[in-house]
Amino acid sequence: MKSLRSILLPMGASVLAIIIGGILVAALGYNPVTVYGSLISGAFGSGINIGNTITASLPLIIVGLGIAISFQSGLFNIGADGQYWIGATAAVWFGYHFNSLPGWLHMILCIVAGMIAGALWAGIIPGLTKAYVGSHEVITTMMMSYIGILLARYLIEGGPMQQKGFNPQSPEIAQNTQFPYFTQGLMQSQLSLVAVAIAIIAVIVVWFLLYKTTLGYQLRTVGLNQRAARYAGINVKLFTVVALCLSGMFAGLAGAVQMLGVDHRLLDGFSSNYGYTAIVVSLLARNNPIGVIIAGLFFGALTTGGQNMQMVSNVPAALTDVLTGLIIFFVACERIIPQVIGWYRRRRTLKSTSAA
């Protein structure tokens, strides 16, 4: 019953957000059926659209997994966007260096570099200061996110990673590090089966880590009750750092996958706020790795469908942001709604009892 409720409540929150969004669209003078129809067709109307939807959802899924680890450990990693940028930057740097390496080894090197960079960016300052000084991780991860994004932009805007004669962008990574696109049949898009495989493996790894290993049990125990964790002999400080390192590692992995699979070079503004949207993905999935897949695909569909919605229905693209905000609101209220319903039922019961 509890597991069913954990699935139905986020779904109900999304449905309510869509209904309220439809009412808002109608109030603005647009036809909700046409608007949502263009959104759905833009996300799933053809093989190319489906491929683009999956491509847009992959970074959300991978970053969302890292966010889920931090949330289940009782930590709020708000700076995943900066870790995503740092991971992408490291992957690109290794991508256009070491060209003499074999293709598969060079590709693995780029992926590992992105993961390590993201882990260190989240773990060194936010993790250590949280564990040993008590600074709040919301503040430190957010500040490090700004630093990471601005540092990456400096590197390609007059910095050492800027491609000569072009601004702002880095050199293109080597051909042997780029993921091949899936070009069979109708799904001819930037979709890469290698990127899909990495995302699926990441989901399996996180699920196994959290629910089938001692490390995952210790992380979740620290998240539930630090005093109980200390009493059980768990090193809370150590696992605080480990949780943020793991969270940043997956954000960095997402950045590396995006560079090797889609962009192939570091560009100003490439991220599309994936790190912040992934927080909503994890919340909607209730920090469950399997649920992150569904939530990531949902927001990937909003991204690709929103572009088509703007072109076909002439609706402002900001409507997708409004839907995202409504989903956040209803997900945040999902704990309150059952309490309100229970209060209303108890009140009706008391009225009927007093009347009798």
Sign, CA dihedral 245-246-251-252, equals positive
Cα 206 to Cα 216: distance, rounded to the nearest angstrom: 9
All domains in the chain, ordered by first residue: 1-30+318-356 (no CATH), 48-314 (1.10.3470)
Q: What tens digit of pLDDT does each residue of 106-164 get?
A: 999 999 999 999 999 999 999 999 999 999 999 999 999 999 999 999 999 888 999 88
Task: Inform me whether the pLDDT recorded for 354 exceeds 70.
Answer: no
Distance of CA 52 to the CA centre of its chain: 17
Q: Which of 56, 40, 31, 46 is nearest to 314 (CA)?
A: 31
Q: Which of 293, 280, 278 is nearest to 323 (CA)?
A: 280
- Lowest-confidence region among 169-173, 309-313, 315-319: 315-319
End-to-end CA distance of the chain: 33
Q: State mean pLDDT over 51-59.
A: 92
Q: Which of 342, 93, 47 is nearest to 188 (CA)?
A: 47
What is the reported pTM?
A: 0.88
Cα 111 to Cα 94: distance, rounded to the nearest angstrom: 9
The counts of H helices and E strands in the chain are: 15, 0
Cα 88 to Cα 262: distance, rounded to the nearest angstrom: 11
Would you say 82 and 146 are in contact if contact means Cβ atoms under 8 Å apart? Answer: yes
Cα 101 to Cα 151: distance, rounded to the nearest angstrom: 28
